[in-house]
A and B are shown apart, each in its own frame.
Chain A
């Protein structure tokens, strides 16, 4: 079946640098995308989302970019801090039967972000 994937499994950056985490999705009909952050021993934490009718959305220190032409999603973190070290997942909502997805998410495998002080 179709799934969401990531280009890089690990990313190491220096504190203060900007980080970019990438994600490729294969279901062109997906209309909603989310980025989650997961710290060790905890559940995934919502960071930011974007709908397919947008190509960019900004939050606090984070920006999500959506390129539907190449089915690519990215998360940009500005001025990365040691507290940003975690696993980052992208997720998509594929369309469901009859047009109702029930909010079901398909997750990528995750990217480990390590921020060095």
Chain B
């Protein structure tokens, strides 16, 4: 997985609770990304980062925020989880041009 870990790997939470997912890389890459994957939609970009404290929105950013206080960690926060945010979340880093993905976090919002 190209030195990318995600935590937790599985989480069940209730509607309205805050949730933070963590992506950790060991290869000092500048660019990091958060995607969600849902049946019939492939992967969709939520937010991305192009450096420490430099982040921007992706295609489906509503209801999500991110932070990157150091190169190796990129956090995705659901301020108030909703059932529509039940999904599998993937973090990615950018190599020469291609992106390498982490193992994913399966989040269920009940």
Contact = CB atoms under 8 A, between A and B. Distances in A.
Interface of A: 1, 32, 34, 36, 41-46, 49, 89, 91, 102-110
Contacts of A43: 1, 90, 92, 101-104
Main SS of chain B's interface residues?
A: strand
19 contacts: A1-B59, A34-B98, A34-B99, A36-B101, A42-B103, A43-B102, A43-B103, A44-B43, A44-B90, A45-B101, A46-B99, A89-B42, A102-B50, A103-B31, A104-B33, A104-B58, A106-B45, A109-B40, A110-B42
A32 B90 contact: no
B22 interface: no
Nearest to A9: B40
Interface in B25-40: 31, 33, 40
Interface of B: 1, 31, 33, 40-45, 48, 50, 56, 58-59, 90, 92, 94, 97-104
Contacts of A110: 42
Given A42-B104, A43-B1, A43-B104, A103 B99 contact: yes
Nearest to A102: B50
Main SS of chain A's interface residues?
A: loop
